[in-house]
Chains A and B, each alone.
Chain A
Amino acid sequence: MIRGIAIFAFFTLSTILVIVLQPGPRENFASTPSNLELFETSRNQVQVFNEPVAEPILTVPDDLAADLKAARDAQTRVEPNPEPRLQATLDTSAAVREALQDSDFYAPTAGNASQKSTSAATFAAILAEREAQAPPTPTPAAPVRQQAVLQPAPQSARSAALSATPDATPYLAPELRDMSWQTLNTLNSIGHVSKAPGQEGSLLNSIVRRSMGHVDGTQPTQAILQATFTAPRIAATPAVQVAPQRTARAAAPARNGAAASTYTVSSGDTLALIAIKLYGSALATDRLLADNPPLRRNPNELRIGQVLKYSMP
């Protein structure tokens, strides 16, 4: 029994000793200091020993003391009063809250743009910034389907809509459209509102309905519906097929006589950011794409120094 305790104590002690008294890193004898280093250290030592300790404190020159005092004064003067800053913060947050309460995002109409710009711009800027950091996984069939729906539309009607009432029918940013479709898909897959594809209230139905309203407000014809339903099969073929038609249509707004200008892409720009800069809304990305056919074909071809055409409504 005693022996057992003794052995136990021995083991415990040795474990603790091994843990506690671990040998530290040894001195490295391999590297001998060079002559220069030895000289430097010795000189430093000499200097330290020669220096009187109390002397510098007593003999601070007057001009230096004045400088120090001036610097300290400047520091205290620069330091702001916390009270007004806090008040300003509270004021701005209250303003943001007010702007939030009576605004719908992404709708900077000309009249009260200044009031709405705070909330809309922050949300849009955050959105654009995050999109820039990590582009969302695109749903490959969706854009092509949209194109297929738009193809049979009369070009004059669309360009007229483009130039006449741009704020009444804002262009939906592709990111927002994709996000909406994804969300609808997940929500519908929960089973709370299960709808057969194409049925009233289903995702497909709403996409068709919205797309029609987007073009000229008429009800979908049989031909357009047919195009929509065959779109997923078109998705397998490359987008080159649709490209020529798009360029032809994209040139329409310029012919319409809208004020055309150019914008040079700088570093850090994304399509959505440029849209915000030029039009005040990320929703205008579509319009930017329409004015620039090469980007329409591949939106990832945005390069620094590239000159984009854009037209103000």
Chain B
Amino acid sequence: MSISKSVKGAFASAISIAAFSFALAPQGAKADIALGLSSVEFEFGGQSLSIRRAADGESKLPSTYAQSDRTCPEHCIEPGTAAAGVKTLTELEVFAFMQQNVSLGTGLLIDARLPTEYAAGTIPGAISVPGPTLVGNNPYREDLLLALGAKGAIGQMDFSGAFDLLIFDDGPWSPTARQAVQLLLDAGYPAQKILYYRGGHQMWHVLGLTVSK
């Protein structure tokens, strides 16, 4: 009787210690995106995508985004707004854009970085429209604008059916997205159809959000 009791006690204590240590270990940590929001689900191109926070206890910034010494003529800190009339979004607003505009097929997530950087990993659902392709003397700019949903010829384009664009780049120290916004405005794209995610890839990584490859 007493032996079985002690065995039982030892067993119980072992289990409780195990449970205790498991609770302390980082593996079990819960990482919601916001209070009451464990993941963001949305649809793009007939695919359902999901965004979560990294919760494996080992997630670290990739070396590109851990670097904090950046030279300024290239990596200056960007202003809060990309251009007059273009709204700057925070992460939670980006999620709302994904769930509403992108899921409905009226909005596009635009990665303004170069294709090589896009290929190395991007925000889920984003498509690559490198900023330099929107320059005024690129002969294909008109075709790009048509592909973005504009109608008519250059100079008198009708943008009423065009996509809402959420433009982002490498981070708040990268001018690419702001320049892309400026080039789109120069091309006649209406400001109220353009949104700017200033945090970009840097903040996306800092927050441990899902990156698609």
> Which residues of A are in contact with B by a Cβ distance under 8 Å?
3-5, 7-8, 11-12, 15, 89, 93, 100-101, 104-107, 119, 122-123, 125-127, 130-131, 134-137, 170, 172, 176-177, 179-184, 186-188, 190-193, 201, 203, 206, 210, 213-214, 283
Establish whether residues B45 and A181, one from each chain, have CB atoms under 8 Å apart when the complex forms.
Answer: no
Establish whether residues B136 and A105, one from each chain, have CB atoms under 8 Å apart when the complex forms.
Answer: yes
Task: Decide yes or no whether B130 CB sits under 8 A from chain A.
Answer: yes
Closest to B105 in A: A192
Contact of B74 among A122, A135, A179 (CB under 8 A): A122
Determine, out of B29-37, B86-94, B138-146, B204-212, the stretch whose residues face the partner at the interface: B138-146
A182 / chain B contacts, CB cutoff of 8 Å = 115, 128
List 20 extra interface pairs beyond A4-B8, A11-B13, CB under 8 A: A3-B6, A4-B13, A12-B13, A104-B136, A104-B137, A105-B183, A106-B135, A122-B74, A122-B175, A123-B132, A130-B114, A184-B147, A186-B127, A186-B128, A187-B148, A193-B146, A206-B142, A206-B143, A210-B139, A210-B140
User: Nearest Cβ in chain A — how far from B195, in angstroms?
Assistant: 18
Complex A-B, nearest 5 residue pairs according to Cβ-Cβ distance, in ascending order: A104-B136, A4-B9, A8-B13, A187-B147, A180-B140
Within 8 A of A (CB), among B72-86: 72-74, 76
User: Nearest Cβ in chain A — how far from B200, in angstroms?
Assistant: 15
B202 / chain A contacts, CB cutoff of 8 Å = none
User: Nearest Cβ in chain B — how far from A100, in angstroms?
Assistant: 5
Task: Decide yes or no whether B133 CB sits under 8 A from chain A.
Answer: yes
Q: A87 to B132: give the CA distance in the assembly, Å.
A: 30
Establish whether residues B9 and A203, one from each chain, have CB atoms under 8 Å apart when the complex forms.
Answer: no
A119 / chain B contacts, CB cutoff of 8 Å = 179
Mark contacts of B14-58 with chain A using CB atoms, 8 A cut-off: 1 yes-contact digit, 0 otherwise.
Answer: 101100000000000000000000000000010000000000000
A177 / chain B contacts, CB cutoff of 8 Å = 140
Q: A97 to B188: give the CA distance in the assembly, Å.
A: 18
Establish whether residues A7 and B127, one from each chain, have CB atoms under 8 Å apart when the complex forms.
Answer: no
Q: A181 to B115: give the CA distance in the assembly, Å.
A: 12
The winner among B5, B114, B132 for most chain A CB atoms within 10 A is: B132
Establish whether residues A134 and B116, one from each chain, have CB atoms under 8 Å apart when the complex forms.
Answer: yes
Task: Decide yes or no whether B156 CB sits under 8 A from chain A.
Answer: no
Task: Decide yes or no whether B68 CB sits under 8 A from chain A.
Answer: no
Known: A182-B128, A187-B127. A7 touches B13 (CB 8 A): yes
Establish whether residues B149 and A193, one from each chain, have CB atoms under 8 Å apart when the complex forms.
Answer: yes
Q: A134 to B119: give the CA distance in the assembly, Å.
A: 11
Establish whether residues B143 and A8, one from each chain, have CB atoms under 8 Å apart when the complex forms.
Answer: no
B142 / chain A contacts, CB cutoff of 8 Å = 206
Known: A11-B10, A104-B136, A214-B139. A183 touches B74 (CB 8 A): no
B73 / chain A contacts, CB cutoff of 8 Å = 122
B115 / chain A contacts, CB cutoff of 8 Å = 136-137, 179, 182
B5 / chain A contacts, CB cutoff of 8 Å = 3-4
A137 / chain B contacts, CB cutoff of 8 Å = 115-116, 119
Task: Decide yes or no whether B97 CB sits under 8 A from chain A.
Answer: no
User: Nearest Cβ in chain B — how far from A293, in angstroms?
Assistant: 25
Q: A214 to B137: give the CA distance in the assembly, Å.
A: 13
User: Nearest Cβ in chain A — how far from B144, in angstroms?
Assistant: 6
Q: A137 to B128: give the CA distance in the assembly, Å.
A: 14
A183 / chain B contacts, CB cutoff of 8 Å = 128-130, 133, 144, 147
Establish whether residues A170 and B130, one from each chain, have CB atoms under 8 Å apart when the complex forms.
Answer: no
Task: Decide yes or no whether B199 CB sits under 8 A from chain A.
Answer: no
Establish whether residues A100 and B130, one from each chain, have CB atoms under 8 Å apart when the complex forms.
Answer: no
Establish whether residues A179 and B13, one from each chain, have CB atoms under 8 Å apart when the complex forms.
Answer: no
Establish whether residues A190 and B17, one from each chain, have CB atoms under 8 Å apart when the complex forms.
Answer: no
